[in-house]
Amino acid sequence: MRVIDISQMQDLGLAGLLPISYYLALGLLTLSFLALLFQEKVNEILLGIHVVLFIAIIHGTPTLLYDSLRYAWAWKHVGISDFILRHGYVDTSINSLGIYHNFPGFFSLSALLSQVSGSFSVLELARWGTLVLNYLYLPSLLFLFKASIKEPRLIWLSLWIFFSSNWVGQDYFSPQGLAFLFFIVLMGLYFRYFTFPLHNDGLPQTSQTQASSLWAFGFFVLTFLAIVSSHQLTPVLIIFSSFLLVFFNRLPLKFVPILFSLIFLTWLFYPAADFTSHELAKLMRSFGQLGSNVEASLSDLDIASPAQQLISWSSRLLTLLIWSIAATRIYVSIRTRRQIPYVILALAPFALLLNAYGGEVLFRVYLFALPFMAVFVGDTFLKLFSKRTLIFTTHVFFFVLLAFYLPAYYGKDNIYRFTEAEVEASTWLHEVAPENSLIIEGTRNYPTRHYRYEAFTYLALDYESDKTQKAIMADPVGMMKSWLKNENYSAAYLIITRSQKAEVDQLGIFQGKGSLAKLEQALLSSNAFEILYQNEDAVVFGPKAPLLIPNFYKELDVYDRKFY
């Protein structure tokens, strides 16, 4: 850790900054794991220690290295918990981030943990969220796999594949991170208690026991309730999967899909009625637009930097590698009508592609399918190769996984990590800005909405129409003077940070590389703005004097700007 200077991070993110000793440690750990895996008698304790160490290296490294919470979107989750701590309730009718107030289970839990601990703020808890969640995923996946797989070698092979290919960054301080944990537990309960006692050849076609205990069913339903209260997408996947399991006669409790549907609908039309009334029509409009929904999840490689193109290809190739190998075994399973529950659970998440879900749906599909895909990948190797060939091919495969995984997972960290100076600037702004302020942002990628977020309206320049963005770059001083003098707000601010500029430069958004830095320099060179706060990584501008909004502002149709 001492040899890593994160201030030197460039386009390859943390992947380009890690010392050779880091890669050697991961390589030796992988070799040691494989040596244990192919011993005649599988030592599950030692294999478990290896997985624990792998999680510590992968997820502990950024947690210990970075000054603050990783991922801009995690900061707004802190803001919801902060709202609950300050007000003691959620506001289901709130306009800004209202969806979280309608599904507040995760945020209420994090606020409660912060209160109970006494010495840890939600922000401090959030910093450790990824590491803690992955350590919770491990026993949960072990519970799922042991309930459905008899062969220990396949169990541990699948676990390693899961943790070395989960690149999508959904396992952080978030509702979906917790919902995924509950999803794994729910599937483990299904295989442990609620499947038919059919023959099992090592892959899940059966359970070890029938549903014989009332407490197991009660915990089954409570787990689903916890998911419903925290996340709006996961219940849809579970209900769809349960209907498929009933249809293919793999779920003896035929009423479960109906029960789960009633629970979810009750939540939608009572606790989450405000969300449902406002968002249902929007969700229906995007339903079925498969091509555009997938495209919304993918980066535009044509405008990204060469390094980010490499990162994107690493993640795409890793995804294709996992899915293509798993597909060969899924095809065999469908033809032989074996391992049908895993086939259903591996393929059901792809139905989520029918809805856009904010441009993240492809990541959710990958995550929720991954436990079952990992098993099919592992089973492909065990079934396809002789022992000598198996050892060689798994070694090659594991190191190919690492070669794709490390850049895919770490490669955008120059965008995803934030300096202390950025945090200080944003915190200052959120503390001093009066109620009903307008906060204009270069992009949404910076520490924001973590405190008093409900008091402000946010406007991100990179979310404006291309026409408006071009107008801004043509006359940055004139346009920003107009926007900062909007009389609908008690005050207006513009904040530009290091991480915003990194996002623009590396992903090519806004008006391309250097455009946000050019805008910042134009404002710094003008005497038309007050520099209200400035440090080495951030600057906050305010209006210097009252100015009228010019006529061309309306003619350029800049009122299409998107508030959130």
Range of the domain at 313: 6-67+128-414
Q: Are residues 20 and 59 in the same domain?
A: yes
- Tell me the C-alpha distance between 396 and 370, whole Å: 20
Q: Are residues 291 and 387 in the same domain?
A: yes
The predicted structure's pLDDT at residue 293: 55
Q: Are residues 448 and 374 in the same domain?
A: no
**At which of 361, 391, 414 does a domain end?**
414
**Is 306 among the domain residues?**
yes
- Tell me the C-alpha distance between 175 and 105, whole Å: 8
Q: Dihedral, CA atoms, 50, 56, 59, 60, nearest 10 degrees? A: -170
The predicted structure's pLDDT at residue 195: 79
The number of folded domains in the chain is: 2
**Is 164 among the domain residues?**
yes
Q: Which amino acid is at 437?
A: S
Q: Are residues 438 and 301 in the same domain?
A: no
Q: Are residues 293 and 215 in the same domain?
A: yes
The predicted structure's pLDDT at residue 101: 97
**Is 193 among the domain residues?**
yes
Q: Are residues 396 and 505 in the same domain?
A: no
Three-class DSSP labels, 407-420: HHHHCCHHHHCCCH
User: Which of 407, 413, 398, 412 is closest to 162 using CA atoms?
Assistant: 398
- Tell me the C-alpha distance between 255 and 246, whole Å: 9
**Is 99 among the domain residues?**
no
- Tell me the C-alpha distance between 371 and 187, whole Å: 10
User: Which of 477, 495, 491, 466 is closest to 72 using CA atoms?
Assistant: 495
**At which of 414, 431, 451 does a domain end?**
414
Q: Are residues 442 and 322 in the same domain?
A: no
Q: Are residues 544 and 511 in the same domain?
A: yes
The predicted structure's pLDDT at residue 211: 46
Q: Are strands 491-497 and 538-543 parallel, antiparallel or unpaired?
A: antiparallel
Q: Are residues 383 and 398 in the same domain?
A: yes
The CA–CA distances, whole Å, from 134 to 89, 162, 189 equal 29, 11, 19
Q: Are residues 434 and 383 in the same domain?
A: no
Q: Are residues 132 and 192 in the same domain?
A: yes
Q: Which two tokens stand for residue 470?
A: 């071009």
- Tell me the C-alpha distance between 181 and 230, whole Å: 12
pLDDT tens-digit profile, the chain (564 residues)? 667 899 999 999 999 999 999 999 999 999 999 999 999 999 999 999 999 999 999 999 999 999 899 999 999 999 999 999 999 999 999 989 999 999 999 999 999 999 998 778 999 999 999 999 999 999 999 999 999 999 999 999 999 999 999 999 999 999 999 999 999 999 999 999 887 654 444 444 444 444 457 888 999 999 999 999 999 999 999 999 999 999 999 998 899 999 999 999 999 999 999 988 887 767 766 665 665 556 655 667 888 999 999 999 999 999 999 999 999 999 999 999 889 999 999 999 999 888 766 668 889 999 999 999 999 999 999 998 888 899 999 999 999 999 999 999 999 999 999 999 999 999 999 999 999 999 999 999 999 999 999 999 999 999 999 999 999 999 999 999 999 999 999 999 999 999 999 999 999 999 999 999 999 999 999 999 999 999 999 999 999 855 444 443 334 443 343 333
The CA–CA distances, whole Å, from 182 to 258, 420, 434, 507, 510 equal 20, 34, 40, 34, 38
Three-class DSSP labels, 168-205: CCCCCCCHHHHHHHHHHHHHHHHHHHCCCCCCCCCCCC
DSSP percent split of the chain into helix, strand, coil, nearest 5:
65, 5, 30
The CA–CA distances, whole Å, from 138 to 135, 142, 155, 259 equal 5, 6, 11, 29
Q: Are residues 248 and 376 in the same domain?
A: yes
Residue with tokens 């946000």: 516
Reported pTM: 0.92
Name the burial class of residue 49, with classes exposed (0-12), middle (13-18) and buried (19+) by CB atoms within 10 angstroms of its CB.
Answer: middle
**Is 163 among the domain residues?**
yes
Instruction: Determine contact, residues 70/62, Cβ cutoff 8 Å.
Output: yes
CA angle 237, 93, 463 (to 5 degrees): 75
**Is 340 among the domain residues?**
yes
User: Which of 310, 286, 282 is closest to 296 using CA atoms?
Assistant: 286
Beta carbons within 8 Å of 475's beta carbon, 6+ residues apart: none
**Is 123 among the domain residues?**
no
**Is 86 among the domain residues?**
no
**At which of 414, 430, 463 does a domain end?**
414
The phi, psi pair for 456, rounded to 5°, reads -125, 160
Instruction: Determine contact, residues 556/465, Cβ cutoff 8 Å.
Output: no
Instruction: Determine contact, residues 442/493, Cβ cutoff 8 Å.
Output: no
Beta carbons within 8 Å of 134's beta carbon, 6+ residues apart: 55, 58, 59, 163, 171
Instruction: Determine contact, residues 182/233, Cβ cutoff 8 Å.
Output: no
- Tell me the C-alpha distance between 345 and 376, whole Å: 11
